[in-house]
Amino acid sequence: MAGGKAMIPIALAAILTVAIVLERFWSLRKKEVLPPHLPAEVKSWAQQTRRLDDGHLQALAKTSPLGEVFAAALRVRHLGREAMKERVEDAGRHAMHGLERFLNSLGTIALIAPLLGLLGTVIGLINMFLAVMSHGIGDANQMAGGIGEALVCTAAGLCVAIPAYIMHRYFRGKVLQLGVEMEREVIALVDSLEMEPATPAVVRKAVK
């Protein structure tokens, strides 16, 4: 109340910041992005199964971002490493886009929250000068109210912007780390598929 109407958008920005932070903490859990059991299961299934079941691949893609990239690689495993590499790159960009969801909004809040505080500061100073024009400089309460409104808005904007910026940088770093680990798991899968034992026909051809 002391900050005036300019506190309304700052309060909304604070609520949105809390919502985004909680959602990202939940969605970017490592076990949700990179299930620990998934790489071994997929490698075992891919090495034992020559004919891929499209329904199984669709279910795999829905398990997690890592499963989505695994499924993209397995769909074109018969076309060779280069085809798998291109498909993995496309699927990886899509998965990373999902991991970065709402981070642009969080960064925007970190940028505009101080500006909202500055706007409240300007409005408070304007109210103070209007009070001086109406009542003269002898009314200390009117001047104190305007200055207080300005300072409250400035402090509130900074209190929203600083945590939002810190969490934005934190989640950016976490997404990059998860992306590196995802890339390592996918490369391991592609390498394991390349090292599959050759079929008898291929072996006889190589012997000849």
Residue 52 lies in a domain: yes
- Please give the tally of structural domains in the chain: 1
Instruction: Give the least confident one: 18-32, 58-72, 153-167.
Output: 58-72
Q: How far apart (Å, rounded) are the C-alpha atoms in residues 117 and 3? A: 9
Residue 55 lies in a domain: yes
Residue 102 lies in a domain: yes
Residue 139 lies in a domain: no
Residue 128 lies in a domain: no
pLDDT over 70 for what percent of the chain? Answer: 80
Q: How far apart (Å, rounded) are the C-alpha atoms in residues 13 and 73? A: 41
Question: 83-92: per-residue pLDDT in tens?
Answer: 888 888 888 8
Residue 54 lies in a domain: yes
Range list of H helices, 54-139: 54-63, 65-75, 81-99, 103-135
Q: Indicate whether 166 pLDDT > 70.
A: yes
Exposure class string for 168-203: b at 16+ Cβ within 10 A, else e: beebeebbeebbeebeebbeebbeebeeeeeeeeee
Residue 38: which domain range? Answer: 7-115+161-196
- The confidence score (pLDDT) of residue 136 equals 60
Residue 30 lies in a domain: yes
Question: 68-77: per-residue pLDDT in tens?
Answer: 888 888 888 7
Question: 17-46: per-residue pLDDT in tens?
Answer: 999 999 999 999 999 999 988 888 888 877
Residue 126 lies in a domain: no
